[in-house]
Structure 1
Amino acid sequence: MEEPEQDSVASPGSSCDNDKDTFPDEQRNAQKGKNANSWQRKNEKLKKKIESEKRELQEEINSLKSQQKSIKCENGNLRSRLQEAEIIKKSLQEQVQVLNRNNQSLTEQKDDLILRLSKLAGAKLTVDNPNIADLSDCKRPTKLAEEFAELYDNEWTDAFENIQLESEPEKIEFMLRLLQSTRHICNDVSRRHMEDITKGIVTLTVRTKKSSEKLSSEQNAIESCNKNDKAESECNESEDKRKRLKVDAVDSDTLEEFVVIEPGEHGEVMNCEEPSKEISAHTGSQTPKVIEPGEHGEVMNCEEPSKEISAHAGSHTPKVHIIAGDVNTFSAAQKQAILEIKKDVEVRLSKQLQEVVTNMVAIENNIDRQTQDSTIKYIAKCVDICWSMCQHEPPVFFDLPETNGETCLDVNVYKPYTKSGKYIDYIVWPPLYLYMGGPLLGKGVAQGRS
């Protein structure tokens, strides 16, 4: 009986257990439902948040795109402005270059004007005033005095030892003769150069067209005769004409009349002189007329020239006129310009002249270039200094006075050689002066005697 009770008791218990098992499922389901709702709400929130952020990001992207467009536009404007700035910069650089060139040109013009003004002022001071020296001239008188003294101390001494003469006075006289020879040659060359320059400047040669054509045709005939080797008689005839051209400067057949017109006191043409006898050698028998212009250059009257010119002249009209002016009418600045041109040419040709004159003096005095090298160097240095002396106006001067045994030894002008004394026995080296009769630049050397 007890067992059935247990069974009956256990039955309800089993049903409770079934209820307990059912309840957690429902709870779990309910919990799951709650969780699902919660997740759903969270998802919705996240979606909203994501959508919100997406919208914000989209707006931000749009804003950035807008900014990018704006930046691109601004960048384009900046590039355009940069290009404009580059163009302006280039234009300004070109203007700066132009201004620099103008500035340089103005500076050069200013320096040139200052130099010209300085030269003009210097010319006014130095023209006919040798006491004022040009300090830029490396061959100014004071420098020449130093070189002249060094010539005696160096080249003179070396050459003196190699001179093959017996007595010392003979050697000294020979050395002075070499110095004097170079001075005479240099003075003569410089004087003739000045004459040629002034003569060329103030002289005009007027030729007629017919004269030029005849002269040219005869010269061509001579050349063709030399080239084609024509008959001997024709060549001799052309050769005679050529010789006449050399003598007369223009052929006398062509130069029917040779007119020399010379200037008056103020440069105007006033009178005529007879042509040279060299020209008259080929003149004809008829008497041409020498034209004499008036006060303002017009032809006023005629006189008969020398009969020598008429040997070959004929009755035709004049073909050549030589018109000469007067250099004395030039201003001081013009004369100074002529002197500067002369000096510049002489400086440029100094080396060639030195070689020519050195050879000339060596040959005249039987000096061998191979065995007497020190003497050749002495002559060359003498030429260099004497030529530089001639380039000054008036020329730098050294004096070699004649001594008669009674000439006093002036210690202010001469230094004693090996002996001192009251009188000069002989001069060893000449004193140097700024110009003839001018102040002393360097003392000479003389042998004294009691």
Structure 2
Amino acid sequence: MSSKPIENVDTDKVGDYLLYLKTNNARTDKALDEAINEQKEFMESFRRYKKFYVDHQSSYYKIKQEKEEKQLSKDSPNLVGRLRKEKEDLAFKNESLLKQNEELKTRLSTLAGHKMQDGNPNITDLSDPFRPTKLAEKFREVYDEEWTRSFEELDVFLKDEMKVIATLRYLMSQVEIFCTRFSEKQIKDIARTCTDEIVNPKVVTDENQTLRCKTPSEMSNGQKETAKKIIHDLRKSVGVLSVRPLVQIFDGWFMCNLRKINKLPPSSRETDAFVAKTFEIVWLMKIQNPQMETQWQSQDEKCDKDKFTFYTKRGDIVSQTVWPAVLLHKNGPLMSKGILQAK
């Protein structure tokens, strides 16, 4: 079995390490900023080349194998059989070793992630599928996919590019406001329920009478911090389960009014899909500890070319923000560039 080195390169570690250096670097480091930008550009190119590689490697190895076996068959039929047997044995051993290696890497990465996260929320577990680097990538994919289809759908009704962009921005801002507020409320409600049941447990008797003590216990500061971390970890591990019911609530509370105001049809399938996908990623960003943030630029501001690329017009002054930049946390390192239209 031929090895496939490109698939085994852990490129995410490079990005996470650069962000770690950026977060802990008090002064401006131009070389580090350039390295971060170059790494992001490399990741985009890497994904394209990797797809090309995966698409073509199967046929390449098949042709190569057929040529090798054809040549060997001319020399000695017995040799071909023996080599094929040795190849199968080596392939089996290699597969077993790869599985063991992946298992050890996962266990090591999980352990290291937990160690690094304690006291340092900027370092994430590399085995976490919802870590900030992955969420930033998924968020940008929403722009490439769902945003584009929703734009085309709304353009049929609104017939004005700037108005369509403004409508989609308004939708996103409302999703973020909703997710931010409810995320904060949810974690407080969970913490209150859990800690209250610990320090002031209730007992329900056979007669269905609820009993509580008169003097509840009090948690120390250390116990409060431990409980807070456990509650945040719990919510983060299962928080994706809140997405579907929250999308339904948001649709009934907000989207219905939006359709009436903009005279949209009762069901705008592509726009609904855009809202649902945006809601999912933004919600997962908001249940990080600390929360990830988006950054927009206002009209007539000077274009921040370090955090934004251009839509269709380049310039120095902002006309409108099309897609927000993503930060690791408030005032934190850049995770993904936004898109703006210049005047």
TM range (shorter): 0.5 to 0.7
Residue type matched to 1:397 in 2? E
Aligned: 1:422 with 2:302: no
Q: Summarize deviations over 1:187-214 as a string: whole Å, max 9, x none.
A: 12211111012212332447899xx899
Partner of residue 327 from structure 2, selected from 433, 439, 442: 433
Structure 2 partner of 1:294: none
Structure 2 partner of 1:184: 177
Deviates more, 1:142-151 or 1:120-129: 120-129
Residue type matched to 1:424 in 2? V
Partner of residue 230 from structure 2, selected from 325, 330, 337: 337
Query: Equivalents in 1 of 2:171, 2:133: separation in Å?
Result: 23
Residue type matched to 2:324 in 1? P
- Is the partner of 2:259 in helix, strand or coil? coil
Residue type matched to 1:349 in 2? S
Q: What is the Cα deviation at residue 377 of structure 1?
A: 0.5
Query: Equivalents in 1 of 2:131, 2:269: separation in Å?
Result: 29
| Contact 1:409/1:424 (<8 A) preserved | yes
Map 1:90-129 → 2, pairs under 5 A? 122-129=113-120
| Contact 2:169/2:323 (<8 A) preserved | yes
Q: Identity, % of aligned pairs? A: 29
Aligned: 1:360 with 2:253: yes
Q: What is the Cα deviation at residue 396 of structure 1?
A: 1.4
Aligned: 1:132 with 2:123: yes
| Contact 1:128/1:394 (<8 A) preserved | no
Map 1:31-430 → 2, pairs under 5 A? 122-163=113-154, 164-203=157-196, 204-205=199-200, 321=214, 323=216, 325-326=218-219, 328-330=221-223, 334-366=227-259, 371-401=267-297, 403-405=298-300, 407-430=301-324
Paired positions, count: 233
| Contact 2:114/2:125 (<8 A) preserved | no
Residue type matched to 1:190 in 2? S
Superposition RMSD on alpha carbons, in Å?
A: 3.3
Query: Equivalents in 2 of 1:322, 1:119: separation in Å?
Result: 41
| Contact 1:160/1:171 (<8 A) preserved | yes
Structure 2 partner of 1:98: none
Q: What is the Cα deviation at residue 332 of structure 1?
A: 5.8
Query: Equivalents in 1 of 2:257, 2:288: separation in Å?
Result: 27
- Is the partner of 1:349 in helix, strand or coil? helix
Q: Summarize deviations over 1:71-119 as a string: whole Å, max 9, x none.
A: xxxxxxxxxxxxxxxxxxxxxxxxxxxxxxxxxxxxxxxx9xx96x976
Higher helix share: 2
Normalising by the residue count of structure 1, what TM-score does the alignment of the two structures yield?
0.46
Residue type matched to 2:185 in 1? R
Deviates more, 1:366-375 or 1:391-400: 366-375
- Specify every segment of 5 or more residues in structure 2 that has no aligned partner in the other structure, as ranges: 1-102
| Contact 2:110/2:125 (<8 A) preserved | no
Query: Equivalents in 1 of 2:265, 2:122: separation in Å?
Result: 39
Q: Summarize deviations over 1:319-347 as a string: whole Å, max 9, x none.
A: 87474745743376544322121223322
| Contact 2:121/2:290 (<8 A) preserved | yes
| Contact 1:369/1:376 (<8 A) preserved | no
| Contact 1:398/1:432 (<8 A) preserved | yes
- Is the partner of 2:320 in helix, strand or coil? strand
Normalising by the residue count of structure 2, what TM-score does the alignment of the two structures yield?
0.59
Structure 2 partner of 1:102: none
> Does the C-alpha gap of structure 1 residues 409 and 207 become closer, same or farther in structure 2, counting only changes over 3 Å?
closer
Max radius of gyration: which structure? Answer: 1
Q: What is the Cα deviation at residue 150 of structure 1?
A: 1.2
- Is the partner of 1:392 in helix, strand or coil? coil
Query: Equivalents in 1 of 2:143, 2:215: separation in Å?
Result: 49
